[in-house]
Amino acid sequence: MSLIEVKGLRKSYDSLEVLKGVDLNVEQGERIAIIGGSGCGKSVFLRSLCLLEKPDAGQIFIDGKEITAAGAKVDEIRRSMGMVFQKFHLFTEMDVMDNLCLAPVRLKGMKRKDAEDKAMELLRQVGLASRAHSWPAVLSGGQQQRIAICRCLMMEPKVLLFDEPTSALDPTMVGEVLAVIRMLAKRDMGMLIVTHEMNFAREVADRVLFFADGGIYEQGTPAEIFDSPSREKTISFIRKIKYFSFEIADRSFDLMAMQGGIQSFGEKYGLGFKYIYRLELCCEELLYEMLSHCYPPDQDEVKIKMDISFAETDRETDISLSCKGEAYNPFSQESDGLGVTILKRMASRIDYAFDAGENRISIRL
């Protein structure tokens, strides 16, 4: 039996459907990283598991008990989960020890002395034993988040839910919180972690979920998602790809507009003057090669689309071109245009195909 089972989870805000029927099984001790762009539903999904967000439809089972069922003992079922928020949510009117002991004493009937002993042991593990009687206001953000994690662990949950636990922290404090989560991962603590820390997700997760289009767009091992994602939006997100597109519908197209767009695109992402110039030249020569060979000289109406993509992670540039008309491979031995020659020298990969009346060229620089 799965520790968490989600079936057909849906959630909307007015006309905006955020979750569109999400299904997921989480096994005991499994560590899952949830990644994706802002507004894709990652946090909504996580908060829905413990009903901090009430789903519009679907079922959620926690350790075999349906938390979404009518009349469910929600508070009791929630105790199997611990939630770590972005903003810590410590009780500011209590010192650290009282923050840690409140829930186990009131909800689990633990004796105060036993709770304090357990709290001190957890504080020692996260390097904050000396802060047992400090007030939250005097602690750094990283210290407060470590305390928040300890507060969850006081209830001995079967799984921890982390909602972007480092997003509210100064960069200098991120490492100390991630170190605590790594420590828990080594102890086989079950976790679902919404995070923007890609290297961290790769390191600690057994499985990575990429959220897009209202649900789990792609999932797999860290190696599958980060090294060889199979779907377009995952690839774009992982490589942080930026795009420039230009479409030509008439032979007398605005060349200056295209060149100006390429220059602005290149400058924005720091491609360098010489590289941008060569990119402009290559695109211009490639377009005129296709215009000259794919369409009759008296035909003004054409259909060509040029896409340039730049991956911030590895700084690779791709040129993709689709062109209707006659089949023509500009990289065949018969072609000796200047731009084509430069492209051959710059390219690490060139692919050409002709299908359904369309030339398709893909070039990796």
Q: Is the pLDDT of residue 172 over 90?
A: no
Q: Output the six-digit token pair for 47.
A: 């908060």
Binning pLDDT at 50, 70 and 90, where does residue 199 land? confident
For the chain, the first-to-last Cα distance in angstroms comes to 49
The percentage of residues in the chain with a pLDDT greater than 90, rounded to a whole number, is 70
Q: What is the pLDDT of residue 334?
A: 63
Sheet strand arrangement including 349-355: 241-250, 301-311, 316-324, 358-364, 349-355
Q: Which amino acid, 161?
A: L
- CA 163 – CA 248 distance, rounded (Å): 45
**Domain 240-364, CATH number (from 3.90.1300.10, 3.30.565.10, 2.40.50.140, 3.40.50.720):** 3.30.565.10
User: pLDDT digit string (tens) for 240-292?
Assistant: 888 899 999 999 899 999 999 999 999 988 889 988 988 898 889 889 989 99
Do residues 148 and 89 touch, judged by C-beta distance below 8 A? yes
Q: Read off the tokens for 269.
A: 């992402």
Nearest to 358 by CA among 330, 326, 324: 324
pLDDT one-digit tens code per residue, 299-332: 999 999 999 998 888 788 899 999 999 999 988 8
Among 326, 258, 319, 321, residue whose Cα is nearest residue 292: 326
Residue whose pair of structure tokens reads 């199997």 in the numeric block = 80
Q: What is the pLDDT of residue 281?
A: 86
Closest Cα partner for 82 from 166, 177, 192?
A: 192
Among candidate residues 335, 331, 338, the one with its CA nearest the CA of residue 363: 331
Classified by CATH at the fold level, domain 4-232 comes out as Rossmann fold (3.40.50)
Q: What is the dihedral of CA 89, 93, 97, 101, to 10 degrees?
A: -70
* Residue 188, CA atoms < 13 Å, CB-side half-sphere: 3
DSSP state of 58: E
Q: In sequence order, what DSSP letters do the residues of 245-273 get, joined into one string? A: EEEEEETT--HHHHHHHHHHHHHHTT--H
**For 95-117, what is the mean pLDDT?**
96
The mean pLDDT value for 110-135 works out to: 96
Q: Give the model's pLDDT for residue 64.
A: 93
Q: Which residue intervals of the chain bear CATH 3.40.50.300?
A: 4-232
The two tokens of residue 111 are 């004796």
Backbone angles phi, psi at 60, to 5 degrees: -130, 125
Closest listed residue to residue 307, CA positions, set 354, 251, 365, 362: 362
| pLDDT tens figures, 30-52 | 999 999 988 899 999 999 999 99
Q: What is the average pLDDT value for the chain, to the nearest integer?
A: 91
For residue 196, what pLDDT is reported? Answer: 87
The sign of the dihedral angle between the CA atoms of 74, 77, 79, 84 is negative
Res 230 pLDDT > 60: yes
Contact (Cβ atoms closer than 8 angstroms) between residue 287 and residue 335: no
In the chain, which segments carry CATH 3.30.565.10?
A: 240-364
| pLDDT of 169 over the 90 cut | no
